Amino acid sequence: MKTKIFLFLILIFAFSLRLYGINWDQGFHLHPDERMLIMVTDRISFFNNLNPDFFNYGSLPIYLLKGITQLLDYLFKTQLSHYNGMLIVGRILSTSFDLLTIIFIYHIANILFRNKKISLFSSFFYAIAFFSIQNSHFFVVDVFLTTFTTILIYLLLLYLKSPSIKKTVFIAIIFAAMLATKITAIIFVPIVWLMIIIKSKQKLLSFFTFNLSLLTFHFLFMPYVYLDFQKFFTDINLQMKMNSDPYIFPYTLQYVGTIPYLYYLKNIFLWGLGPIISILSIAGLLSLRAKRSNLFLFLIFYILYFLIVGRSAVKFMRYMLPLYPFLAILAGYGLYKLYELYKLLAYILIIAIFSWSFMFMNIYSQPHTRISATEWILKNIPKGSTLTTEHWDDGLPLYGGENYKFEELTLYDQPDDEVKWQILNEKLKRTDYIIIASNRLYVPLQKLSDCNKFKSCYPLTVQYYQKLFSGLLDFKKVAEFSVYPKLEIGNWKLEIRDDVADESFTVYDHPKIMIFKKRVQ
How much helix, strand and coil, in percent to the nearest 5, is found in the chain? 65, 5, 30
How many CB atoms neighbour CB 150 within 10 A? 27
Radius of gyration of the chain from its Cα atoms, rounded to whole angstroms = 25
pLDDT at 290 over 90: no
**Does 302 have pLDDT greater than 70?**
yes
CB burial of residue 136 (10 Å; 0-12, 13-18, 19+): buried
Indicate the pLDDT class of residue 491, thresholds 50, 70 and 90: confident
∠ Cα 125 94 50 (to 5°): 150
Name the helix (H) or strand (E) containing 390: strand 386-390
Nearest to 57 by CA among 268, 251, 318, 256: 318
Whether the ω angle into residue 354 lies within 30 degrees of 0, i.e. cis, is no
Q: Are residues 374 and 343 in the same domain?
A: no
3-state secondary structure at position 518: strand
Q: What is the mean pLDDT of residues 30-56?
A: 96
Rounded distance, CA 483 to CA 385, Å?
27
pTM above 0.85, yes or no: yes
Mean pLDDT value of segment 353-359: 96
A 10 A CB-CB count for 132 gives 25
What does the H/E/C string look like for 249-312? CHHHHHHCCCCCCHHHHHHHHHHHCCHHHHHHHHHHHHHCCCCCHHHHHHHHHHHHHHHHHCCC
Q: Which of 335, 364, 393 is the last residue of a domain?
A: 364
Residues 6+ apart with CB under 8 A from 265: none
Angle between helices 85-113 and 2-19 (to 10 degrees): 150
pLDDT tens-digit readout, 436-452: 999 999 999 999 999 99
- Compute CA distances 20 → 14, 17, 200, 449, whole Å: 10, 5, 46, 41
Least Cα distance to 328 among 133, 174, 506, 190 occurs for: 133
Starting at the earlier edge strand, list the strands of the sheet with 433-436: 405-409, 386-390, 433-436, 513-518, 475-481
List, for residues 305-352, the tens digit of each pLDDT value.
Answer: 999 999 999 999 999 999 999 999 999 999 999 999 999 999 999 999
End-of-domain residue from the set 364, 393, 417: 364
Full residue range of the structural domain in which residue 332 is found? 2-364
Q: How many residues does the chain have?
A: 521
Same domain, 51 and 32: yes
Q: What is the pLDDT of residues 396-444, one digit of tens each?
A: 999 999 999 999 999 999 999 999 999 999 999 999 999 999 999 999 9
* pLDDT reading at 56 higher than 80: yes
Examine the domain organization and report whether 38 and 186 are in the same domain. yes
Handedness of CA 273, 275, 276, 277 (dihedral sign): positive
- The answer to whether residues 347 and 380 belong to one domain is no
Q: Is the pLDDT of residue 50 over 70?
A: yes
246 DSSP β-pair partners:
none
Other CB atoms within 10 A of residue 88 CB: 14
User: How many domains, the chain?
Assistant: 2
Amino acid at 430: R
Q: What's the sign of the alpha-carbon dihedral 157, 158, 161, 163?
A: negative
Q: Are residues 58 and 125 in the same domain?
A: yes
Q: Are residues 359 and 375 in the same domain?
A: no
State in Å, rounded, how far the first CA of the chain is from the last one. Answer: 75
Q: Same domain for 353 and 408?
A: no
Q: What is the mean pLDDT of the chain?
A: 96
- Is a pLDDT exceeding 70 seen at residue 470? yes
Contact 317, 509 (CB under 8 A): no
Q: What angle do CA 308, 310, 316 make, to 5 degrees?
A: 125
Is residue 1 pLDDT above 90, yes or no?
A: no
175 and 116 fall within a common domain: yes
Q: Are residues 276 and 130 in the same domain?
A: yes
Nearest alpha-carbon partner for 129 in 330, 325, 320, 261: 325
Q: What is the pLDDT of residues 78-113, one digit of tens each?
A: 999 999 999 999 999 999 999 999 999 999 999 999
Q: How far is CA 368 from CA 18, 365, 381, 441, in A?
A: 17, 9, 20, 20
Given 364, 388, 422, the domain boundary residue is 364
Say if residue 164 is in the same domain as residue 228. Answer: yes
- Does one domain contain both 357 and 374? no
Per-residue DSSP letters for 448-485?
---TTT-SS--HHHHHHHHHHHHT-SSEEEEEEE----
Q: Is the pLDDT of residue 521 over 70?
A: no
pLDDT of res. 67:
97
Q: What is the pLDDT of residue 292?
A: 85
